[in-house]
A and B are shown apart, each in its own frame.
Chain A
Amino acid sequence: MLKGYVPPYNATVVQKLLDKGAVLMGKTNLDEFAMGSGSTDGVFGPVKNPWSYSKQYREKRKQKAHGENEDSNWLITGGSSGGSAAAVAAFTCFAALGSDTGGSTRNPAAHCGVVGFKPSYGLVSRHGLIPLVNSMDVPGILTRCVDDAAIVLGMLAGHDPKDSTTIQDPVKPFTLPTFADVNKLCIGIPKEYLAPELSSEVRSFWSKAANLFESEGAKVIEVSLPHTSYSIVCYHVLCTSEVASNMARFDGLEYGHRCDINVSTEAMYAATRREGFNDVVRGRILSGNFFLLKENYENYFIKAQKVRRLIANDFVNVFNSGVDVLLTPTTLSEAVPYLEFIKEDNRTRSAQDDIFTQAVNMAGLPAVSVPVALSNQGLPIGLQFIGRAFCDQQLLKIAKWFEKQVQFPVIQLQELMDDCSSDFEIEKLSSVSLKQ
């Protein structure tokens, strides 16, 4: 729908970065309209996880299957902001922006071994962010370390008159101090997050992380978020409803793709939207309109809003009981190969993969995925910290301490560079650099 669209204005978050002297390297790939958890459903094709080409992964694979084409079994990045995560993981940029509505920043961050930060809802302006679910979307920040994320957040946070849902208080840039009071911390482990589909490796790292905090004197307790099991369905109703509404503007009239049919306005709308949207988007629009019908509104939309309130209250209660931060997995397992991922449809995958991340969006809380260690296959595993609303700095402080403890390894992509470059290309590259 927006393939050839060049926006005539900058999003507030982009403008803020540009004003501070940032250089825009480019725009990254994603799932169409941020709907998906694999970054596989974009018009420009799927995104490949740089770790597919890492030394760490390839070494492990050589021990396993033989005779496979090196490239055919590449891994997904997760999604929907997979392009941004891949860009950061592959050292192509200092930081990247994504969006996070159900985990779209944290999920690919975990799969690509980078830091994926979701700010509190209302802290960072959504002006210029193409909306998916207006009441849950936030711009997400992807970086290689927590300090970098803090720098970017410091530049982006604060009231924007163009976004009426941002908080009024001004926010100053900050640097993260070294966190020394781990022994005063109370970490909550939500018991409902121990899902049966959780891979044993992730569970093991989760456990180790909890022990790490405990060994440093922090209080680590089990807590309950009783309405967790309802959050997927609730999210589905609210998300599709808002999507149906937000996508109504794409009619080919003012901008974007327009079909060739001009028999009537209705026919033009219908054809434009059929051509411009993929199946995933169309499916969500249809569902959403169903839930918004007069006869269904009370039973679906209103009900879902009420359940959302219950889910948000779960978190409030837990934080009120003295817990500073929650520790959970980010994803069920490490990144899977593309060919395996596409065996299930987008809706099924999203429902599975969003399980740990999406309740956070419903509650508007800040959360961050921090890379912890490599799996047996040599792929990144991340864990998630969830903080109190508008205590983003506090959350990042704790994340930074944790990052320092785990010492996640740097991705080794040298082989990839060696494999890819031909003599011809090396000459080209060097000639470019000489001219400079």
Chain B
Amino acid sequence: MAALVVRLSCLGKRWVLACIDGGSRHGRGAAIGLTSRRKRGQSSVAQQPLIAVQKSRKGEREWAAVVGLEIHAQISSNSKLFSGSQVHFAAPPNSLVSFFDASLPGTLPVLNRRCVEAAVMTGLALNCRINKKSLFDRKHYFYADLPAGYQITQQRLPIAVNGCLAYSVSVGKKPSQVSTRTVRIKQIQLEQDSGKSLHDEPRSQTLIDLNRAGVGLLEVVLEPDMSCGEEAASAVRELQLILQALGTSQANMAEGQLRVDANISVHHPGEPLGVRTEVKNLNSARFLAKAIDFEIKRQIHELENGRKILNETRSFDDKLGCTMPMRDKEGKQDYRFMPEPNLPPLLLYDTASLPPGADPQQVINIDWIRERLPELPGKTREKLIQQYGMLPEHSFTLLNEVGLLEFFQNVIKETRAEPKKVTSWVLNIFLGFLKQQNLAVNESPVTPSALAELLNLLDRKAISSSAARQVMDMKRGNPRAINKLIGLVRKATLSRADPTVIKEILERKLSS
């Protein structure tokens, strides 16, 4: 079955989505991937592997891009992964550093239980198999922000493997045209974060802040099932929502709690995969999509001009909008992986295998954690659709905007208006208003109660919908709008109310 769907990419080139059977797609066992998706009972939307192929202007053969992601999420915990120092954002430099974090000789790692629980929760939420036994390793390289000269990670046997993440992308101009995709999760591993380097070029020195050194990270490895920047950004967004819903990470990209590295390659469909490059440390969803799309274009351009792609690491310069090779990564690094001898294997249990008389402080029961998982975004969206009869794309918007869902639910609580009305007002007028003013939901001058009240009035037909809009206009700071309102109120009071008083009352109400 072939289906051709056209959509516009953010770079303006025409992208053609073609349906190709699983066999020729990756050559990496995509068939297996398909089966596992079905087994997990993921989206009932008929899932065909889709590749974004790009027609070049020269009329050459089509290109297919392959994008994989390595996502590092800082675990939301009180203390670090292997030491007792606290985890805080923006603390004075080197104020949260224990002897272990500073790599003083003789100090030993002690595993943080909360971090393990966070990893298990995340693994379960992403449909992974939780390894009941996992191991820790040392990954060696010399860098000033890595005091021990090695990072403790889980290379051989990570805590969770073989999961999947469902996300949605728009496939047409209309908002209703969304398609659900899944990306396979290769593994989730626990590892240490490094410190921060601040390069002081004028004084030719580098300042090291070790506050972040040793903070627990969840590295989530997404298989190269994605094909463009938008897919990657959507997948990351959904992962963010999941992590936030679980409480395992605040996943705020701007604060560095979520960092993404992308592995990108291009090839002609049917041929083997191309050489891939790694684009590191993308710390915003917008840059992520831009960087990936740029890199895809760049690679196609290089290859079409007879050049080769180097297997290198690149960074994204957001001002110039392009990727650049990173200076200090010459040649391939040999990390000299070695088992971490100071940490015994991490053993997890389920209810069946829990040893009798085990100290609950010392053991983790996977079943116990599974039973207490918070509601995931997918479920929340489902409930919104069922409860309020809203369209799927509305549920996505509600969740995608930080704080919007809570706002919406608060309005629903206080208003008698129909949910569909509320939905429409929140998503169109309210959100539109915020976007225009470049405000976040938590910066909104309009409170849920205020909107609820407004909608009540509307519902009672006490005011017209245009009047209600003008209230919003007023909030926008349009002073002339208030005159119109005054006019309306006068009409309603049959010209008996004093305009000045009306204005006072309105101003008071509107400023609250």
Q: How far is the CB of A175 from chain B (nearest CB, A)?
A: 30
- The reply to whether B140 and A245 form a contact with Cβ atoms under 8 Å apart is yes
* Interchain Cβ contacts under 8 Å between A and B, 6 examples: A7-B104, A7-B105, A127-B108, A164-B108, A164-B109, A165-B344
B144 contacts the other chain (CB 8 A): yes
A248→B140 contact, CB < 8 A: yes
Known A130-B106, A293-B334; contact A164-B342, beta-carbon cutoff 8 A: yes
Q: Is B311 an interface residue (CB 8 A)?
A: no
Main secondary structure of the interface of B (DSSP, over half): loop
Q: A127-B108, A163-B108, A292-B336 are in contact. Are A249 and B344 (CB under 8 A)?
A: no
B149 touches A249 (CB 8 A): yes
Q: In the bound complex, how far is the Cα of B334 from the Cα of A294, in angstroms?
A: 7
Inter-chain contact A9/B99, CB cutoff 8 Å: yes
Residues of chain B contacted by A280 (CB below 8 angstroms): none
A254 touches B108 (CB 8 A): no
Q: Which of B174-214 contact A (CB under 8 A)?
A: 205-206, 208
Q: B336 is contacted by which of A11, A251, A289 (Cβ under 8 Å)? A: A289
CB-defined contacts of B150 to chain A, threshold 8 Å = 245, 248
CA distance A254 to B105 in the complex (A): 11
Whose C-beta in chain B lies nearest to the C-beta of A268?
B144
Contact of B147 among A9, A242, A249 (CB under 8 A): A249
Chain B contacts for A133, CB-based, 8 A: 341
**Cα–Cα distance between A249 and B208 once the two chains are bound (Å):** 15
- Closest CB in chain B relative to A317 CB, distance in Å: 24
B108 touches A245 (CB 8 A): no
Q: How far is the CB of A12 from chain B (nearest CB, A)?
A: 9
Q: Nearest B residue to A301 by beta-carbon distance? A: B338
Query: Nearest CB to that of A253 among chain B residues?
Result: B144
**Cα distance A254–B148 when bound, in Å?**
10
Whether B336 pairs with A293 at a CB distance below 8 angstroms is: yes
CB contacts (< 8 Å) of A247 on chain B: these are 149
Q: Which of B244-285 contact A (CB under 8 A)?
A: none
Binding site for A on B (CB under 8 A): 99, 102-111, 138, 140, 142-144, 147-150, 205-206, 208, 334, 336-338, 341-344, 362
| Residue in contact with B338 in the complex, picked from A128, A241, A255, CB distance below 8 Å | A241
Complex interface: chain B residues within 8 A of A436 (CB): none
Q: Which residues of B sit under 8 angstroms from A9, Cβ to Cβ? A: 99, 104
Bound Cα distance A93, B461 (Å): 95
Do residues B142 and A248 form an inter-chain contact, with CB atoms below 8 A? yes
Interfacial chain B residues near A292, Cβ < 8 Å: 140, 336-338
Chain B residue numbers with a CB within 8 Å of A131 are: 105-106
- Chain A residues positioned under 8 Å from B143 (CB to CB): 265
Instruction: Quote the shortest CB–CB distance from A121 to chain B (angstroms).
Output: 11
Does A8 interact with chain B (Cβ within 8 Å)?
Answer: yes
Q: Are A127 and B106 in contact (CB under 8 A)?
A: yes
- The answer to whether B106 and A128 have CB atoms under 8 Å apart is yes
A296 to B: closest C-beta gap in Å: 10
- Could you say which residues of chain B place their CB within 8 Å of the CB of A351? none
Known: A250-B105, A253-B144. 14 other contacts (CB 8 A): A126-B108, A127-B107, A128-B106, A164-B344, A168-B362, A244-B336, A245-B140, A245-B338, A249-B147, A254-B103, A255-B104, A293-B334, A293-B336, A297-B337
Give Cα distance in the complex from A130 to B107, angstroms. Answer: 8
Partner of B142, one of A134, A241, A242, A269: A269
Q: Report whether B138 and A255 are in contact in the complex, using a CB–CB cutoff of 8 Å.
A: no
User: A: which residues have CB within 8 A of B?
Assistant: 2, 7-9, 11, 126-131, 133-135, 161-165, 168, 241-242, 244-245, 247-251, 253-255, 262, 265-266, 269, 289, 292-294, 297, 301
Report the minimal beta-carbon distance from A73 to chain B, rounded to whole angstroms. 36
Distance A251 CA – B205 CA, assembled complex (angstroms) = 16
Complex CA distance for A249 and B342, rounded to whole angstroms: 15
Residues of B close to A266: CB separation below 8 A:
142
Residues from chain A with a CB closer than 8 A to the CB of B147 are 249, 251, 253-254
CB distance from A301 to the nearest CB of B (A): 7
Contact between B148 and A248 (Cβ–Cβ < 8 Å)? Answer: yes
Q: Which residues of A contact B337 (CB under 8 A)?
A: 292, 297
Task: Give A414 to B344 CA distance when docked, in angstroms.
Answer: 51
Return the chain A residue nearest B97 by Cβ.
A254
Rounded to whole angstroms, the CA-CA distance of A11 and B104 in the bound complex is 12
Q: Are B336 and A129 in contact (CB under 8 A)?
A: no
Contact of A242 among B144, B334, B341 (CB under 8 A): B341
In the complex, the answer to whether B149 meets A11 with C-beta atoms within 8 Å is: no
Q: Tell me the bound Cα distance from A162 to B98 in angstroms.
A: 13
- Shortest B424–chain A CB gap in Å is 57
Chain A, Cβ-Cβ closest to B340: A134
Please tell me if the beta carbons of B110 and A161 are within 8 angstroms of each other in the complex.
yes
Q: Check B149 against A251 for contact (C-beta < 8 Å).
A: yes
Across the A-B interface, the 9 shortest Cβ-Cβ residue pairs: A248-B149, A292-B336, A134-B341, A249-B103, A135-B341, A128-B106, A130-B105, A249-B148, A254-B102
What's the Cα separation between A249 and B150 when bound, in Å? 8
Say which residue of A164, A245, A248, A294 sits within 8 Å of B111 (CB atoms). A164
- Rounded to whole angstroms, the CA-CA distance of A377 and B341 in the bound complex is 43
Cα A120 to Cα B182 in complex, Å, equals: 51
Cα A398 to Cα B95 with chains together (Å): 52
Nearest residue in A to B342 (C-beta to C-beta)?
Answer: A134
Q: Which residues of B contact A161 (CB under 8 A)?
A: 110
B334 contact set on A, CB distance < 8 A:
293-294
Q: Is the CB of A265 within 8 A of B144?
A: yes
Chain B residue at minimal CB-CB distance from A242: B341
CA distance A129 to B143 in the complex (A): 25
Residues on the A chain within 8 Å of B205, using CB: 262
B368 to chain A, nearest CB (A): 21
B325 to chain A, nearest CB (A): 19
Nearest CB in chain A: distance from B135 CB, A: 13
Query: Which residues of chain B are within 8 angstroms of A255 by Cβ–Cβ distance?
Result: 102, 104
A168 to B109, CA, bound (A): 16
Asked if residues B206 and A265 are in contact (CB atoms below 8 Å), the reply is yes
Distance A59 CA – B394 CA, assembled complex (angstroms) = 99
In contact, B343 and A164 (Cβ under 8 angstroms): yes
A2 near B338 with CB under 8 A, answer no
CA gap between A293 and B140 in the complex, in Å: 11
User: What's the Cα separation between A54 and B248 when bound, in Å?
Assistant: 67
Q: A254 to B344, Cβ gap below 8 A? A: no
User: How far apart are the CA atoms of A7 and B99 in the complex, in Å?
Assistant: 10
- In the assembled complex, the CB of A159 is this many whole angstroms from the nearest CB of chain B, namely 11
Give CA–CA (A129, B148) in the complex, Å: 16
